[in-house]
């Protein structure tokens, strides 16, 4: 009996269903890539602030990381979405950009800041794992602090942090489904709508396959990068 909902989906409905889910997958992919585009460099900036010699700056970023990691991402999405209206009385329709509703911007802001907090701790752990002697050797050779960081330290850090970054990136693929909370039509939202309309679980199965393929490709790409950087072994 549990297979009847699957059998009820004929070929005439299957292809349109896949097309709709692929459209949702495109939205999920946009959320994924824009989040990485902003979160990866922002995480490095936060990691620098987290290691600042000024206590006030250091405490600020520690608090930011604690809040981002200590509260649900879905709750953060709601806050970023409703904050302009409830705190500043700005109609959400006024925040549309180039015809794009603010809900999409709120999703990117929420995801980027949340993942930047996680990436920042990964960066910090990688930076602090580099032996102090390398900084001293670079100083003796006449390197400035910025040259030491970008030419000597950062390449080694990138190699060391690839595995934990890969875990976070894979999690991000799955977390894009949380955009449904702001009625963004990503793949999970589309699957849920189709399943409700057609009274079948097939959309969820197809969406699961698409998520798996997406993650498989991401994991393969990250493994390729790790292999290419293998010459930075410490």
DSSP tag of 176: G
pLDDT for 4 equals 43
Mean pLDDT (the chain, rounded): 88
- What are the respective helix, strand and coil percentages of the chain, to the nearest 5? 85, 0, 15
Other C-beta atoms closer than 10 Å to the C-beta of 81 total 21
DSSP 46: H
Q: Could you tell me the residue ranges of all domains in the chain?
A: 22-186
Query: What pLDDT, on the 0 to 100 scale, is given for residue 80?
Result: 94
Closest CA to 183 of 117, 114, 92: 92
**Residue 157: which of 234, 218, 63 has the closest Cα?**
234
Window from 7-11, 30-34, 80-84 with minimum mean pLDDT? 7-11
Q: How confident is the model at residue 107 (pLDDT cuts 50, 70, 90)?
A: very high
Closest CA to 17 of 216, 197, 213: 197
Output the six-digit token pair for 73: 């991402």
Topology of domain 22-186 in CATH is: MetI-like fold (1.10.3720)
The encoded tokens of residue 212 equal 């798996």
User: Percentage of residues in the chain with pLDDT exceeding 90?
Assistant: 57
Look at residue 5 and tell me whether its pLDDT is greater than 60: no
pTM, whole model, 2 decimals? Answer: 0.87
User: With bands split at pLDDT 50, 70 and 90, how would you rate the model's confidence at 11?
Assistant: low
């Amino acid at each position: 009996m549990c297979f009847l909902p699957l059998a009820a989906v004929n070929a005439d409905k299957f292809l349109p269903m896949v097309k709709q889910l692929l459209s949702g997958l495109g939205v999920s992919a946009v959320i994924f890539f824009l989040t990485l585009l902003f979160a990866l460099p922002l995480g490095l900036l936060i990691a620098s602030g987290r290691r600042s010699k000024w206590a006030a700056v250091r405490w600020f970023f520690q608090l930011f990381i604690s809040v981002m990691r200590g509260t649900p991402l879905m709750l953060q999405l709601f806050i970023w979405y409703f904050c302009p209206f409830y705190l500043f009385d700005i109609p959400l329709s006024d925040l549309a950009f180039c015809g794009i509703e603010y809900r999409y911007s709120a999703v990117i802001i929420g995801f980027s800041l949340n993942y930047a907090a996680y990436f920042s701790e990964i960066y910090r752990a990688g930076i602090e794992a580099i032996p102090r002697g390398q900084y001293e050797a670079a100083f003796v050779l006449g390197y400035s602090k910025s040259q030491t960081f970008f030419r000597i330290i950062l390449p080694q850090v990138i190699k060391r942090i690839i595995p934990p970054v890969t875990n976070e990136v894979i999690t991000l693929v799955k977390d894009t489904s949380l955009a449904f909370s702001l009625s963004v039509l990503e793949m999970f939202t589309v699957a849920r709508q189709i399943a409700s309309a057609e009274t079948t679980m097939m959309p969820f199965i197809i969406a699961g396959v698409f998520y798996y393929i997406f993650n498989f490709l991401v994991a393969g790409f990250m493994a390729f990068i790790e292999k290419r950087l293998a010459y930075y072994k410490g």
